[in-house]
Structure 1
Amino acid sequence: MKIFFFGNMACYLSRQMHLCAEKHVMTFLDESATDAEIASHCQNTDILVSMVFDQRFVTSSLKKVLVPGIGVDKINFSQLPENVEVLTCAAHEMAVSEYILSYVISYFRELDSIGERFKSSYDWRDCSRLGGIARKQLNELTVGVIGGGRIGRKVIEVFSFFGSSCRCLTRYPYETSGSVLFFPRTERDDFIRGCDVVIVACGVDKDTQNIIGQHAITMMEPDTLLINIARAECVNYEALAAACHDRKIGRAVIDVWQFYPQKGDQALRPSAADFRQLDNVDMTPHISAWTRKVIADRAAILARYINEESCNSAEYVLQENQA
Structure 2
Amino acid sequence: MHIQIVGLHAPNAPRLRALLGPGFEVEALQAFAGSGAIRSDVVISNSIGADEAARLHCRLVHVPGAGSEQIACPSLPAGTTVCNVHGHEVPIAEFTLHAILEHCLQLWQYPARLDAPAWAQAYASRQQHEEAHGKTLAIVGFGHIGQEIARRARAFGMHVIAVTRSGRQGAAELADEFVPVSTLDDVLARVRCLVICCPLDDTTRGLIGARQLGLLPAQSLLVNVARAEVVDEQALYEALRSGQLGRAVLDVWYQYPKKGQPPVNPSRWPLHELPNVRATPHISAMTPALLDRRYRFMAENILRLKQGQPLLNVIYPAP
- TM-score exceeds 0.5: yes
Q: How does 1:161-180 map to 2 (within 5 A)?
A: 161-172=155-166, 173=168, 175-178=170-173, 179-180=175-176
Percent of paired sites with the same residue? 25
Query: Which of 249, 254, 258 is 2:254 aligned to?
Result: 258
Q: Is the 8 A contact 2:83 2:315 kept in 1?
A: no
Give the C-alpha shift of residue 142 in structure 1.
Answer: 0.6
SS in 1 for 2:249: strand
Q: Is the 8 A contact 1:54 1:80 kept in 2?
A: no
Give the C-alpha shift of residue 67 in structure 1.
Answer: 0.9
Give the C-alpha shift of residue 66 in structure 1.
Answer: 0.8
Q: How does 1:298-309 map to 2 (within 5 A)?
A: 298-308=294-304
| Per-residue Cα deviation, 1:264-304 (whole angstroms, up to 9, x for no partner) | 76953221111222110011110011011101111211122
Query: Which of 261, 275, 288 is 1:292 aligned to?
Result: 288
Q: Is the 8 A contact 1:126 1:133 kept in 2?
A: no
Per the normalisation by structure 2, the TM-score is: 0.86
Select between 283-292 and 254-263 the one with higher mean Cα deviation.
254-263
In the alignment, which residue of structure 1 is the partner of 2:213?
217
Give the C-alpha shift of residue 151 in structure 1.
Answer: 0.7
Answer yes or no: is 1:239 the counterpart of 2:235.
Answer: yes
| Per-residue Cα deviation, 1:43-65 (whole angstroms, up to 9, x for no partner) | 2x111111224431345742111
In the alignment, which residue of structure 2 is the partner of 1:62?
58
Give the C-alpha shift of residue 165 in structure 1.
Answer: 0.2
Q: Is the 8 A contact 1:208 1:234 kept in 2?
A: yes
* Cα separation, partners in 2 of 1:138 and 1:126, compared to 1, 3 Å: farther
Q: Is the 8 A contact 1:145 1:152 kept in 2?
A: yes
| Per-residue Cα deviation, 1:57-78 (whole angstroms, up to 9, x for no partner) | 3457421111102312122332
Number of corresponding residues = 308
What CA distance in whole angstroms lies between the structure 1 residues aligned with 2:312 and 2:158? 28
What CA distance in whole angstroms lies between the structure 2 residues aligned with 1:315 and 1:117? 53
In the alignment, which residue of structure 2 is the partner of 1:93?
89
* Cα separation, partners in 2 of 1:137 and 1:126, compared to 1, 3 Å: farther
* Cα separation, partners in 2 of 1:188 and 1:305, compared to 1, 3 Å: same
Per the normalisation by structure 1, the TM-score is: 0.85
In the alignment, which residue of structure 1 is the partner of 2:146?
152
In the alignment, which residue of structure 1 is the partner of 2:15?
16
In the alignment, which residue of structure 2 is the partner of 1:77?
73
What CA distance in whole angstroms lies between the structure 2 residues aligned with 1:262 and 1:47? 25
* Cα separation, partners in 2 of 1:206 and 1:24, compared to 1, 3 Å: same
In the alignment, which residue of structure 2 is the partner of 1:137?
131
What CA distance in whole angstroms lies between the structure 2 residues aligned with 1:186 and 1:148? 15
Give the C-alpha shift of residue 4 in structure 1.
Answer: 1.7
What CA distance in whole angstroms lies between the structure 2 residues aligned with 1:34 and 1:61? 13
What CA distance in whole angstroms lies between the structure 2 residues aligned with 1:292 and 1:266? 30
In the alignment, which residue of structure 2 is the partner of 1:102?
98
What CA distance in whole angstroms lies between the structure 1 residues aligned with 2:147 and 2:314? 16
Q: Is the 8 A contact 1:118 1:124 kept in 2?
A: no
Q: Is the 8 A contact 2:257 2:264 kept in 1?
A: yes
Give the C-alpha shift of residue 176 in structure 1.
Answer: 1.2
RMSD: 2.8
What CA distance in whole angstroms lies between the structure 2 residues aligned with 1:316 and 1:142? 35
Tell me which amino acid in the other structure corresponds to 1:161: A
Give the C-alpha shift of residue 190 in structure 1.
Answer: 1.3
**Unaligned segments of structure 1, at least 5 residues:** none
SS in 2 for 1:144: strand
* Cα separation, partners in 2 of 1:151 and 1:218, compared to 1, 3 Å: same
* Cα separation, partners in 2 of 1:141 and 1:52, compared to 1, 3 Å: same
* Cα separation, partners in 2 of 1:123 and 1:156, compared to 1, 3 Å: farther
